[in-house]
Amino acid sequence: MTATTDGTGATALRAAAASDSTVAAPRPAGERAPEALEAAVAHLLSRQDERGWWKGDLETNVTMDAEDLLLRQFLGIQDEKTTRATARFIRSQQREDGTWATFRGGPGELSTTIEAYVALRLAGDAPEDAHMAAASAWIRGKGGIAASRVFTRIWLALFGWWRWEDLPELPPEIMYLPKWFPLNLYDFGQWARQTIVPLTVVAAKRPVRPAPFGLEELHTDPRRPDPPRPLAPVTTWDGLFQRLDKALHQYRRFPLGGPLRRAALGAAARWIIERQENDGCWGGIQPPAVYSVIALHLLGYDLEHPVLREGLKSLDRFAVWHESPDGPVRMIEACQSPVWDTCLATVALADAGLPADHPALVKAADWMLDEQITRTGDWAVRRPGLTPGGWAFEFHNDNYPDIDDTAEVVLALQRVRHPEPARLNAAVERAVRWNLGMQSRNGAWAAFDADNTSPFPNKLPFCDFGEVIDPPSADVTAHVVEMAAAAGRAHDPRVRRGVQWLLAEQESNGGWFGRWGVNYVYGTGSVVPALVATGIPASHPAIRRAVAWLESVQNEDGGWGEDLRSYKDDQWIGRGNSTASQTAWALMALLSAGERHSKAVERGVAYLVDTQREDGSWDEPYFTGTGFPWDFSINYHLYRQVFPVTALGRYVHGEPFAPGRLEG
């Protein structure tokens, strides 16, 4: 698949010189790249907050918006302005076939479409309206509500649209499972852990606040909304966990379980409250915050209690408002990415040639230094003796610093000439020590925890909403390896183990799987620069295979693109409409492999130059970020800027800083 562009960018227009009746041929991309870079740097600098950080919108899908309206309906706090603005956004995302997708250009998704439909009904849209009738017909054709994911049916159960008895059990007694026992709380990834604990409360309480209308139009047979589901053979994992769920349903009715359940609910409440952040949120993520508010409210906390009052305030901060011809529109971000955006912007601007002591870089470094986390969080369960020192993704998330952000922040800080070098170096040393200490047993690194690789959580009937564990990945491992090399630790035995793991993880096609970005282009764009930074020569067979693969999947327009369907269908690997961010990832890999003068790099640079907009930015409607592979996709609105600036900067200036500054 190839992509086309619709119009020329600012630098392309500047390159077209006319005289009388003759138009000069466009200059080569290499000559135009410095102008494009200058415009892009100016645009990126203009977007820095006065406090030093950058943050782009984080776009996901309409389940965030639908569930926000459902929450407000459940708590009785809905207001007309919010409802109307949210409904406008949800309607704007509906596809021609009546469905809603989880990423631009993707197929309609059943649970997302059900939640969007229900939210619009709460907003006053009638089932006979054309857009609603199209959605309900499609839903019925896909099996109706009964075929949707468990999380969707939980939301419907809150309003009596689904029976709690027909949902899998998730008992709060999970709080008491020891850390060595299968399916204990810390076998789940941090995002799942924060969601599951409050959901155990909701599932135990089984509240119903009847809705003002029914949803018969969303069932294939309203008389039998939940048709029998066949049991898998007991010799399979699915069969075993289905029978475990039946046993848990029986346990719920066991009289002696009452005191234990009450104690477990109290333990869950304490766990939730202890992890509320200073800004009132939980983990800086919208879904755990939503479920935590519901859980505590069901346990008797009124909406004016300080914990709930601040929690509800925090949810409002996930809202992005803008104007449309039809009126205000409100979009909900699943989370916010200021630390991630700021470190990537700092790297980009430094690599673009901005002086290391430029005020914008120093201000960004100051903000990042203030954000370093120096207290322990849930990660310490698996690494109890490790001194903290990481960074989180969000404004406030001290319980869950992540390894990927920490690595990139270190790479950013090392590019800044700070007026207090001792302060910066001390922060970097703490971060490097923490990150290396979070290595998993297999020699690689995951996003939030070490050795979070149990096979059991994903088998639970309850856990059908996406990835619920946090195994090591090539992209995170690459960033840690690159960070360590920049800090003079390339020969540390832990780093060498990470390098060997990366070499062993290379796919037969020459690329690497991208866990947190789409997909093989992201993984390869992360790994190749990291391997080269540790001393792997550009002539190494692994590097040559990666270069050959990237060249083989370059689009006819010179860019690179990869569709999210590559997570499910191998035919999509390396294929998709060209995007600015994915083109930049491929260029970063090729440039680090010594391919600056290759035809592929020349064409890739030309794509970025030709598609740049008048204001120095790029447009990117496609989703290139990953929350859960396939199940939850992200469009980071700053990716379209920071990565092209990085790639063009490295093309124009080469490597702008010397690694190993902190060695010894």
DSSP string, 214-250: --GGG-S-TTSSS---PPPPTTSHHHHHHHHHHHHHH
Cβ(114)–Cβ(120) below 8 Å: no
* Distance of alpha carbon 527 from alpha carbon 522, whole angstroms: 9
* Distance of alpha carbon 399 from alpha carbon 593, whole angstroms: 38
Sheet holding 58-59, edge to edge: 58-59, 632-636, 625-628
For residues 99-128, b (16+ Cβ closer than 10 Å) or e, as one string?
bbbbbbebebbbbbbbbbbbbbbbbebebe
Query: What pLDDT was estimated at residue 256?
Result: 61
How many C-beta neighbours within 10 Å does residue 495 have? 23
Pick from 266, 267, 286, 268: which is nearest to 277 by CA?
Answer: 286
Compute φ and ψ for 229, nearest 5 degrees.
-110, 130
Query: What pLDDT was estimated at residue 3?
Result: 40
**Alpha carbon separation from 640 to 240, 377, 584 (Å, rounded):** 46, 32, 9
Q: Which of 404, 405, 475, 563 is catalytic?
A: 404
Amino acid at 554: Q
Q: What is the mean pLDDT of each run of 10 residues along the chain (664 residues)?
A: 40 42 70 96 98 97 97 96 97 97 95 98 97 98 96 96 93 93 93 94 95 95 81 80 79 76 95 95 92 96 96 94 94 96 98 97 98 96 96 94 98 97 98 98 97 90 81 98 97 98 98 97 98 97 98 98 96 97 98 96 98 97 95 96 98 66 33
What totals of helices (H) and strands (E) does the chain contain, helices first? 23, 7
Pick from 538, 560, 542: which is nearest to 551 by CA?
Answer: 560
Four-way CATH pick for 59-223+234-332: 1.50.10.20, 3.40.50.720, 1.10.3720.10, 3.30.420.10: 1.50.10.20
Per the DSSP assignment, residues forming a β-bridge with 258 are none
For residues 39-64, b (16+ Cβ closer than 10 Å) or e, as one string?
bbbebbbeebeeebbbbbebbbbbbb
Query: What pLDDT was estimated at residue 8?
Result: 40
Listed in order, the ranges of the chain carrying CATH 1.50.10.20 are 10-17+38-58+335-653, 59-223+234-332
Compute φ and ψ for 635, nearest 5 degrees.
-110, 100
pTM of the model as a whole: 0.92
3-state secondary structure of 269: helix
Which tokens go with 479?
Answer: 């960033």
Cβ(108)–Cβ(95) below 8 Å: yes
State the number of CA atoms in the 13 A half-sphere of 4 facing the CB: 2
Measure CA 422 to chain center: 33
Query: What pLDDT was estimated at residue 23?
Result: 58
Query: What pLDDT was estimated at residue 257?
Result: 67
Cβ(210)–Cβ(184) below 8 Å: no
Query: What pLDDT was estimated at residue 22?
Result: 52
The correct answer on CATH 2.60.120.590 for the domain covering 10-17+38-58+335-653 is: no
Query: What pLDDT was estimated at residue 81?
Result: 96
Respond yes or no: is residue 449 known to be catalytic: no
Cβ(615)–Cβ(10) below 8 Å: yes
